[in-house]
Structure 1
Amino acid sequence: MNAHLPQLGDWTSAEELLAGQEKQLALTLSWAARSPFYAQRFGSGPTPADPADLAGLELTSKQDLRDNYPFGLLAVERERLATYHESSGTAGQPTPSYYTAEDWQDLAERFARKHVGITPADTLLVRTPYALLLTGHLAHAAARLNGATVVPGDNRSLATPCSRIVRALHDLEVTLTWSMPTECLLWAAGARAAGYEPGRDFPALRALFVGGEPLSPARRSRISRLWGVPVVEEYGSTETGTLAGECPAGRLHLWADRARFEVYDPATGRCAPEGSGQLVVTTLFREAMPLVRYNLEDTVEVSYEECPCGWQLPTVTVLGRSAFGFPVGGRTVTQHRLEELVFGLPDEDEVLFWRARAEPDVLRVEIEAAPDRAAGAADRLDRAIRDRLGVPTRVTALPPGGLLPTELLRAMPDVVKPRGLFGPDEDWDKALLYQ
């Protein structure tokens, strides 16, 4: 373990936490100055070295990372790099990210900082992409750092359809999982399609680690009741690794001992230590690609109010893109508020999947519901939307499989390997079309 990395309990107050940040900041900025991008941004004067210098620097944007693809932010020799990654953004341009082996120690430790610990007795199913993203590799490294067995389920592979994941969860006695929250609902439907009951037939399971998409309290609670285990949330990105994790009191805390955080108000152009706005990150222990005042562009609420856990770290509520909505009937509808209402329906309605279209004059919503409760579920949601959101709506309840075809949950497609020689009755047009 790298002795220089702070550990929970090394500070006892917000003041000590900030003092630790400032102690590391000068070294971080000197690392950043080695990269072509920050060398140019800092200019020919003295290298920034303290919080006052930091406050005067321009924010680093996602576009800056894309414009300096692939190695414009590299601050070490190429020989020292351990991994290269790109984010899953939809901008059409790669957003690069890279780490040394020492950087990976920091990454893995932060991911494992959950109030439900990872132990050698655990089997962790990783159900997020490996590919060029960081997320799958991050959970894998954290599990191995703590001695756990890893099941690399991936999330973009034809080799691991939902049915195979359900089989692995059951047969391998998986104790922990890492996925997006939506995956937990898909597994539940897949388990039932296979004849299992999520909260009964997976007794080894003890927690679901989730991240990668905004999660409303109602959906989180529904997933937890469905599986009968805690849902443990975290927040981060491929560019930064884990930035926040959940404490025993159920609140999400920013790892402010490993990074410095600000909240940016796009309307005024000002940054503050807390409040509402976009999260800005300055990494403190990342040498390969230090990020200085990097604007993640995620909408958050940050607070330094005391938390019962005693961690002495700021709390964060991540709204992400769900903070933005669409106009309907003169009001704005956001996914976060709508999701609260959908998953506020009684469990007996068996609503796991839904979709909505925001039109100028009406909000159209479709849900899957138990056949004997479909009419009631649609009526309950219709009334909740009209009462709580104040918009005209039209809710339609579909039978199970209406939104998510059941055959997709049961499917086990073949994974074809490349070959050149075929028999007389085989389709040789597939010689190169393997998948």
Structure 2
Amino acid sequence: MILHEIETKSRDFIEEIQLQRLKRVVERVTRDVPFYREKFENANISPEMIQSLADLEALPFTEKKDLRDNYPFGLFAVSPSQLVRIHASSGTSGKPTVVGYTKGDIDIWSDLVARCIALAGGEPGKVLHNAYGYGLFTGGLGIHYGGEKLGMVTIPVSGGNTQRQIMLIQDFKPEVICGTPSYILNIAETMEEMGIDPRTTSLKYGVFGAEPWSEELRNTLEEKLAIKACDIYGLSEVIGPGVANECHEAQAGLHVAEDHFYVEVIDPKTKQPVPDGEEGELVFTSLTKEAFPVIRYRTGDIGSLTREKCSCGRTTARMSRVKGRIDDMLIINGVNVFPSQIEHCLLPVPEIAPHYQIHILRKRTLKVLELHVEMNDDFFRSINEDPISDTVYLLEKRIEGLLKSQCLVTMEVRVHRPKTIPRSEGKAVRIIDKTKEPIKS
């Protein structure tokens, strides 16, 4: 279902809209946001210099540190009296990043998320089960308002209480389910433990995001639940979920809402743009946000772009699936690797359940990495429930070999009993840094 004409317009048409909106937003932040006015003055930039989309490259970047340095409201372009809502990050690494919304922002956000849900297969009159968390996190309310805007019967379940989620899926018969992919996998596995075949539910489509996930995990979810699983992308600093989404027809990249966001891909080291198709850091400029517009915001997410027309008929630029975050990249013996690449190696191993964690440990003066995975129930039974058998040892060595051959990394693998890796009720925790724990005397 195509909700907006922009989704099929020519590249020239799309870029003309982007240029006009870019001029307006640069003029507005120069006038209304002291942070940007000072940055532009220091770089000898005035709004009149923006005469083409290429001129955007002359503007300075915005980084997460800038949001924290201006906590809580220093980057807002409107007075507090014009706001209708505030969201914030968890603030696990310091002050949270705070974003605000006017009524106009909420209306646009709802339209964007409705567009995403329609891309993934949602339709008016159908039922949407929303398992994203509600609260300061943008996921739950973002999806909720988008579902209602599309005309779907939206169930605000939020995260957690998995058996209750399953009861509601059985009773309310939703067609679409939304949540983090790791938590939806948890729901499917809990169904199996309860003797329910996940493939027999009413679910047909999934809208999954808020964490990097691999094509192998998509295949697992689609097989377990008999659904089409589509990736959604967004981040609170830009607007929340709704920036981009895969179409269920092609599942070949996430269609960016280019009438509201200008996207670039840069080399994170040189900060220079890279060609379409080449991986780099995603950078977004919000073109229509009223309360909290951002200019060239460095997301820390790694992906690429294509502007070729999609087989679904849409012409908007498409992002690749996010490979990972720069912050999550591990350097193992000089090799860069993301958790999603390790997931890509693991999920095809038939003896292993799709749950894992990477532990960073301190051994004397060195940092070492261990990959902790768990057996699935069938394999555990086949070895007579002996977690230290020779068969398990050989499995560990086989996985170590896969990591070395496919990811070019060496790490020790530890295979555990079933159900021993913590399950997610929100974003999965993939990396545990134990070097930050106090040393026991």
Which one of 317, 321, 324 corresponds to residue 320 of structure 1?
324
Q: State the alpha-carbon separation in 2 of the partners of residues 12 and 364 from structure 1.
A: 47
- 2:430 is aligned to none
Question: Which deviates more, 182-191 or 375-384?
Answer: 375-384
Work out whether 1:122 is the aligned partner of 2:126. Answer: yes
Which one of 217, 220, 235 corresponds to residue 219 of structure 1?
217
Work out whether 1:59 is the aligned partner of 2:77. Answer: no
Work out whether 1:141 is the aligned partner of 2:139. Answer: no
- 1:301 is aligned to 304
Label 1:46 to 1:333 Cα distance change in 2 as closer, same or farther (>3 A): closer
Label 1:340 to 1:25 Cα distance change in 2 as closer, same or farther (>3 A): same
Matches within 5 A, 1:212-361: 212-240=210-238, 241=240, 242-247=242-247, 248-251=249-252, 252-272=254-274, 274=276, 275-317=278-320, 318-321=322-325, 325-328=329-332, 331-346=335-350, 349=351, 351-357=353-359
Tell me by how many angstroms 1:266 deviates. 2.7
Label 1:352 to 1:46 Cα distance change in 2 as closer, same or farther (>3 A): closer
State the TM-score, normalized to the length of structure 1: 0.81
Q: State the alpha-carbon separation in 2 of the partners of residues 385 and 216 from structure 1.
A: 15
Tell me by how many angstroms 1:84 deviates. 0.6
Contact 1:368 1:402 in 2 (8 A): no
Q: State the alpha-carbon separation in 1 of the partners of residues 266 and 65 from structure 2.
A: 17
Q: After superposition, give the CA deviation of every residue in 1:32-52 in whole Å (9 maximum; x if it has no partner).
A: 232232233334985344346
Q: After superposition, give the CA deviation of every residue in 1:118-175 in whole Å (9 maximum; x if it has no partner).
A: 33422222222221121111001001112222222223xxxx4222222222222122
- 2:184 is aligned to 184
Contact 2:285 2:294 in 1 (8 A): yes
Determine helix, strand or coil for the equivalent of 2:353: coil
- 2:155 is aligned to 151
Label 1:223 to 1:378 Cα distance change in 2 as closer, same or farther (>3 A): farther
Work out whether 1:368 is the aligned partner of 2:399. Answer: no
Determine helix, strand or coil for the equivalent of 2:293: coil
Label 1:59 to 1:167 Cα distance change in 2 as closer, same or farther (>3 A): same
Which one of 9, 17, 35 corresponds to residue 20 of structure 1?
17
What value does the CA root-mean-square deviation take over the aligned residues? 2.8
Q: State the alpha-carbon separation in 2 of the partners of residues 52 and 175 from structure 1.
A: 43
Question: Which deviates more, 26-35 or 335-344?
Answer: 26-35
Determine helix, strand or coil for the equivalent of 1:351: strand
Contact 1:217 1:340 in 2 (8 A): yes
- 2:168 is aligned to 168
- 1:381 is aligned to 399
Matches within 5 A, 1:102-113: 102-113=104-115
Letter in 2 for 1:387: S
Letter in 1 for 2:289: R
Label 1:9 to 1:362 Cα distance change in 2 as closer, same or farther (>3 A): closer
Q: Point out where structure 2 has 5 or more consecutive residues left out of the alignment.
A: 362-366, 384-390, 426-441
Q: State the alpha-carbon separation in 1 of the partners of residues 422 and 408 from structure 2.
A: 29
Letter in 2 for 1:188: A
Contact 1:85 1:98 in 2 (8 A): yes
Q: State the alpha-carbon separation in 2 of the partners of residues 405 and 344 from structure 1.
A: 20
Tell me by how many angstroms 1:226 deviates. 0.8
Among the aligned pairs, what percent are the same residue? 26
Q: Point out where structure 1 has 5 or more consecutive residues left out of the alignment.
A: 1-5, 409-435
Contact 2:300 2:325 in 1 (8 A): no
Q: State the alpha-carbon separation in 2 of the partners of residues 350 and 52 from structure 1.
A: 48
Question: Which deviates more, 103-112 or 317-326?
Answer: 317-326
Contact 1:134 1:238 in 2 (8 A): yes
- 1:194 is aligned to 194
Label 1:66 to 1:326 Cα distance change in 2 as closer, same or farther (>3 A): closer
Tell me by how many angstroms 1:218 deviates. 0.7
Contact 1:260 1:282 in 2 (8 A): yes
Contact 2:185 2:221 in 1 (8 A): yes
Label 1:89 to 1:308 Cα distance change in 2 as closer, same or farther (>3 A): farther
Which one of 93, 96, 119 corresponds to residue 94 of structure 1?
96
Q: State the alpha-carbon separation in 2 of the partners of residues 185 and 267 from structure 1.
A: 35
Q: After superposition, give the CA deviation of every residue in 1:322-367 in whole Å (9 maximum; x if it has no partner).
A: 7854344664443122101211123xx4613222336667744322
Q: After superposition, give the CA deviation of every residue in 1:217-256 in whole Å (9 maximum; x if it has no partner).
A: 1111111101110111111101122221112211212222
Label 1:263 to 1:133 Cα distance change in 2 as closer, same or farther (>3 A): same
Q: State the alpha-carbon separation in 2 of the partners of residues 91 and 223 from structure 1.
A: 31
Q: State the alpha-carbon separation in 2 of the partners of residues 105 and 121 from structure 1.
A: 20
Tell me by how many angstroms 1:60 deviates. 1.1
